[in-house]
Amino acid sequence: MKRREFVTAGVIGAAATSLAAPAVAQGIRQWNMVTAWPKNLPGPGVAAQMLADRITTLSGGRLEIKLHAAGELVPGRGVFDAVSEGTAELYHAVPAYWGSKSKGILLFGSQPFGLRADEQFGWLYHGGGQELYDEIYARFNLKPFLCGNSGPQWQGWFRDEINSLDDLKGLKFRTTGLASQMCSKIGMAVQAMGPRDMFQGLQTGALDAGEFIGPWTDSAVGFQQVAKNYYWPGVGEPSSAEECAVNANAYAELPDDLKQAVSFACESLYNPVWTEYTTKHAQALAHLVANEGVQVRKLPDDVVQAMGAAAVEIMDELAQDEDELVRRITENFLAYRDSVGPYMVYADNGQMNARSSVLGY
């Protein structure tokens, strides 16, 4: 994150010196996890601590994980490089932050008009996605795992009401990942920043709108205090996977049972994290509407259609990328999406539409 995360070279150097050689005493390894989040931020900050605790527990205490929030050892957006270089052993963040490393990485986090949380997990475990995930992160000396998902995100907080596509032209908007490319294609002025900077931007008018995650996390940051129009659906991120990446050298040095402890800790948290988001997002939204004057609004149809056309362009561009691995990732992703999507019309979509016709939700 950008907000005052500057750490002097001397501090980073000292951290690197102290962390590069993990302690091994009486069979106990001590690893440092750096995260992209403020300490215990509802949603991802909580999930990061859950992961650190679960790895420690599943290892029988032989692999102790100490969590360092964004800015404590390295900036939030610096965790990828820190773990790649061995300054820390593992990080908790989202793939959407690493598009500057490779555009192919972005598909493992969220995709405009793309996979839901369960489909995303299915792609990695049953559609060949994990092998490609491993291959692209190996370029950066990392071993990656998915370890949670926010579920459907929102289109975000808008200072003013949106009535048509024209209202988005030049609108200063915070988002990230492939969603930022989608919004840029329809004329929005996209900016990348952390949640606190987004709050300040909305407060001062430097931003017109922005999205972060969803009601539970967003209300903890306080966006409802500076923008009252909350728009859905968040077509830029139908789900957003959270990831743990481990320094590949440190991971290779683990005995097999501790490798399994790390792997299973990540895998076993995916559903608990996702369902906690779902439960607490619902509770938070009810509170925001009832008590804080938030207006829930639906994106106009012409906006959704324009975003959809932009999303198609993005996938076409990825499928023709100059990087052969990016092309293979895109081909594999599209094959899985197109094989599962038609079934969902009858399965999940059918069930939700039937329930809505009877119960109204």
Binding site membership for Na(+): which residues? 212
- Taking the C-alpha atoms of residue 139 and residue 206, their distance in angstroms, rounded to an integer, is 37
The per-residue DSSP string of 222-259 comes to TGGGT--EEEE--TT-S--EEEEEEEHHHHHTS-HHHH
- Taking the C-alpha atoms of residue 209 and residue 230, their distance in angstroms, rounded to an integer, is 10
The per-residue DSSP string of 36-87 comes to SS-TT-TTHHHHHHHHHHHHHHHTTTSEEEEEE-TTTSS-GGGHHHHHHHTS
3-state helix, strand, coil in the chain (%, to 5): 55, 15, 30
- Taking the C-alpha atoms of residue 348 and residue 117, their distance in angstroms, rounded to an integer, is 13
Binding residues for substrate: 153, 174, 211, 237
The answer to whether the beta carbons of residues 169 and 187 sit under 8 Å apart is: yes
For residue 85, give every residue at least 6 positions away whose Cβ sits within 8 Å of its Cβ, in sequence order, or none. 16, 141
The pair of three-digit structure tokens given for residue 196, joined into one six-digit string: 């606190």
The answer to whether the beta carbons of residues 250 and 129 sit under 8 Å apart is: no
Binding residues: 153, 174, 211-212, 237
